[in-house]
Amino acid sequence: MKVQYKDKIMEIEQEITVQELLKEEIAKSEYTVIGAIFNNEYVNLSYKINKDGEIKLIDISSKEGTKIYRRTIIYILGKAFEKLYPNKKITVNYQLPNAMFCDIENTVVTEELIQKLSDEMHSIVREDLPIEQVVMNRKQAEEFYKKYNTSKGRLQLDLQDNQEIYMYHCEDYYNYCYGTIASRTGVAKIFEMVKYDDGLLVRYPSSNKPEQLPKLIPTKKLAWALDEYDDIHKILNVNTVYKLNKAVEEDNIKDIIMLEEALHEKKIANIADEIAKNRKIKMVLIAGPSSSGKTTFAQRLGLQLRINKIKPVTISVDNYFVERKDTPRDENGDYDFECIEAIDLKLFNDHLTRLLNGEEVEMPEFDFHVGTKKYKGKKLKLEQDQVLVIEGIHCLNDQLTSEIAKEQKYKIYISALTVLNMDRYNRISTTDTRLIRRIVRDNQFRGYNAKDTLRTWYKVNEGEEKNIFPYQEEANSIFNTSLIYELGVLKGVVLPLLEEIKPEEPEYAEAKRLINMLKYFQAIPPEYVPTNSLLKEFLGGGNFKY
């Protein structure tokens, strides 16, 4: 067998693990190596190589390395918790910045409980125990689930074409992760358990600084928004994929969809009512990461404002770019259109101030081909019953509207804050939901294939982490655009797009990971989606212009 690592080709006579094959390279890596990519598929270090291929190591300074680290920490949490509290149930509810929020059913979470749990987890890490993958056929799996009376990883058994059922085994503990985890507990040395609200946070490093815990930044508004949606979906009994699939099978999904859409409408109406109550507000600023549904949200908010006798007037920040020659460049020498310095802040604030003072302003239109602002006689004057509605990545950053008084501004942060879990230990990433939305939209409206979207997604994330996420707690309102049923709808559209990516292409690893997650969803017909839904921004066929 021939295996390529970087520019080196190694001849292998018999089956060998990644750990054994690349022992020296792993040992001298600057950061802890936690996994690998073999022939464009994610694997852990105990994976046995028995065919030709190309291999790359994954360390904890990479995005995928951070995901593997996080899954491993949660696996260790589950092992520790079940040893200490075998008759209780812990749930990994949602993700906050570099942390997972967990709660414990019918239990008051105390500092003593958290300390005991933390001590046990650190003990498991110090022992550096092997985490082994167990493969069962369907009959063995059925016997396993009968014996242990557990739901962990049981979704695998629900797929009738699944002939192999996988579990991760460590000592006497079994659990399943919907994604690669480390092959030993000892790699997950850096974490912290802290009390948070009525539960606890499991904190871990970021890929930017993988060997230290970041500063704990309060995210009370974000946590409240997630809590609210999580509680509602528990009441509706659709907080896991299994329960969502049950609703599809039992033909209750239309009711779930109507309730979800009604919740969105109520929340949007509440925000509009709050704006209407404060007559000082003359500017509504909307920001959120890619594929959050900002365009549809802004238009639906506009309708609710009009019901409150307020007329929205939209201004595009994109028309206020600095001249191309003045555009900042990034570390690679490319134009950085996402940094706030790429906006002509002086002109933008001058126009905003004049408009709020009742003056008439000639509005620019940016010519992206030439790289300059042009004036074509489009004039705007703000009337008493009008408010400005501005949407853009910097809208939560006060530097964008530094000349405008705080009481005149109302900021809204929106994102698809996913609260759906695969099971109690496996949540679905908000980032993955947005990525799937974006793949569908890029294909429907922009002529891009899934490979194009996956290739540039990391760059999109970098811009969000720098320009949006640090300011989310500045918002007056946080609106969650996620829909509990959406992945069931998007599955039918996105799977064929992901399956076009060939195994030899670099994007295949991510495509395969998403395919492996989506296969557990029962398909929901797109025609069930109402025409005013935020989801139509990605599917097409909605009431609004995009």
Could you tell me how many residues make up the chain? 546
Residue 189 falls within a domain, yes or no? yes
Calculate helix-pair angle for 253-277, 294-307, nearest 10 degrees. 60
pLDDT value at residue 546: 61
Residue 46, number of CB atoms within 10 A of its CB: 16
- The rounded Cα 449 to chain-centroid distance in angstroms is 20
Q: Are residues 140 and 274 in the same domain?
A: no
Least confident range of 13-22, 30-39, 91-100, 490-499: 91-100
Share of the chain above pLDDT 70, in %: 100
DSSP H/E element including 45 = none
Write down the H helix ranges in 169-293.
220-235, 241-249, 253-277
Q: CA 488 to CA 486: how far, in whole Å?
A: 5
Neighbouring-strand partners of residue 335: 329
Residue with more model confidence, 228 or 389: 389
DSSP H/E element including 473 = none
Residue with more model confidence, 225 or 423: 423
Handedness of CA 298, 301, 302, 305 (dihedral sign): negative
Residue 457, number of CB atoms within 10 A of its CB: 19
In 3D, which of 286, 312, 287 has the Cα closest to residue 387? Answer: 312
Handedness of CA 486, 491, 493, 494 (dihedral sign): positive
Q: CA 361 to CA 379: how far, in whole Å?
A: 5
Residue 396 falls within a domain, yes or no? no
Q: CA 421 to CA 176: how far, in whole Å?
A: 13
Asked if residue 389 lies in contact with residue 284, where contact means CB atoms within 8 angstroms, the answer is yes
Q: CA 360 to CA 229: how far, in whole Å?
A: 43
Q: CA 40 to CA 48: how far, in whole Å?
A: 15
**pLDDT digit string, tens, across residues 482-530:** 999 999 999 999 999 999 999 999 999 999 999 999 999 999 999 999 9
9's CB contacts (< 8 A; 6+ apart) are 2, 3
Q: Are residues 233 and 207 in the same domain?
A: no
Q: Are residues 288 and 418 in the same domain?
A: yes
**pLDDT digit string, tens, across residues 191-217:** 999 998 889 999 999 988 888 898 887
DSSP 8-state class, residue 160: T
Query: In 3-state terms, what secondary structure has residue 216?
Result: coil
Q: Are residues 200 and 89 in the same domain?
A: yes
Q: CA 180 to CA 190: how far, in whole Å?
A: 19
At 160, list the tokens.
């009738």
Q: How far is CA 282 from CA 41, 101, 313, in A?
A: 51, 36, 10
Question: Across all residues in the chain, what is the average pLDDT?
Answer: 93
Residue 505 falls within a domain, yes or no? yes
Neighbouring-strand partners of residue 43: 36
Question: Which domain, by its residues, includes 18?
Answer: 2-59
Q: Are residues 378 and 491 in the same domain?
A: no
Burial class (CB in 10 A: 0-12, 13-18, 19+), 251: exposed
**pLDDT digit string, tens, across residues 260-270:** 999 999 999 99
**pLDDT digit string, tens, across residues 310-326:** 999 999 898 999 999 99
Q: CA 516 to CA 505: how far, in whole Å?
A: 17
Q: Could you tell me the pLDDT band of residue 337, with boundaries at 50, 70 and 90?
A: confident
Final residue before a domain boundary, out of 217, 247, 281: 217
Residue 454 falls within a domain, yes or no? yes
pLDDT value at residue 225: 79
At 388, list the tokens.
């400005």
Residue 495 falls within a domain, yes or no? yes
**pLDDT digit string, tens, across residues 359-393:** 999 999 999 888 999 999 999 999 999 999 999 89
Final residue before a domain boundary, out of 166, 185, 217: 217
Q: Are residues 119 and 186 in the same domain?
A: yes
SS (H, E, C) 344-365: CHHHHHHHHHHHHCCCEEEEEE
At 142, list the tokens.
């059925």
Residue 115 falls within a domain, yes or no? yes
Residue 534 falls within a domain, yes or no? yes
Q: Are residues 91 and 211 in the same domain?
A: yes
CATH of the domain at 186: 3.30.980.10
436's CB contacts (< 8 A; 6+ apart) are 487, 490, 494, 514, 518
At which residue do the structure tokens 């609210």 appear?
A: 228
Q: CA 168 to CA 176: how far, in whole Å?
A: 6
Q: CA 171 to CA 372: how far, in whole Å?
A: 65
Q: What are phi and psi of 535, to 5 degrees?
A: -65, -25
pLDDT > 90? residue 159: no
Q: Are residues 90 and 232 in the same domain?
A: no
304's CB contacts (< 8 A; 6+ apart) are 268, 269, 271, 272, 273
- Mean pLDDT across the stretch 241-264? 93
Residue environment code for 287-307, b if the CB has 16+ CB neighbours within 10 A, otherwise e: bbbbbbbbebbbbbbbbbbee
Q: Are residues 421 and 280 in the same domain?
A: yes
Q: What are phi and psi of 100, to 5 degrees?
A: -115, 130
Final residue before a domain boundary, out of 166, 191, 217: 217
At 249, list the tokens.
């099978």
In 3D, which of 217, 175, 170, 212 has the Cα closest to residue 191? Answer: 212
Q: Are residues 417 and 278 in the same domain?
A: yes
CATH of the domain at 7: 3.10.20.30
pLDDT > 70? residue 50: yes
Number of domains comprising the chain: 4
Q: How far is CA 83 from CA 121, 167, 170, 173, 189, in A?
A: 10, 18, 12, 9, 20
Residue 473 falls within a domain, yes or no? yes
Q: Are residues 148 and 163 in the same domain?
A: yes
Q: CA 218 to CA 269: how far, in whole Å?
A: 27
- The rounded Cα 225 to chain-centroid distance in angstroms is 15
Q: Are residues 352 and 306 in the same domain?
A: no
Query: In 3-state terms, what secondary structure has residue 434?
Result: helix
Residue with more model confidence, 96 or 25: 25
pLDDT value at residue 443: 94
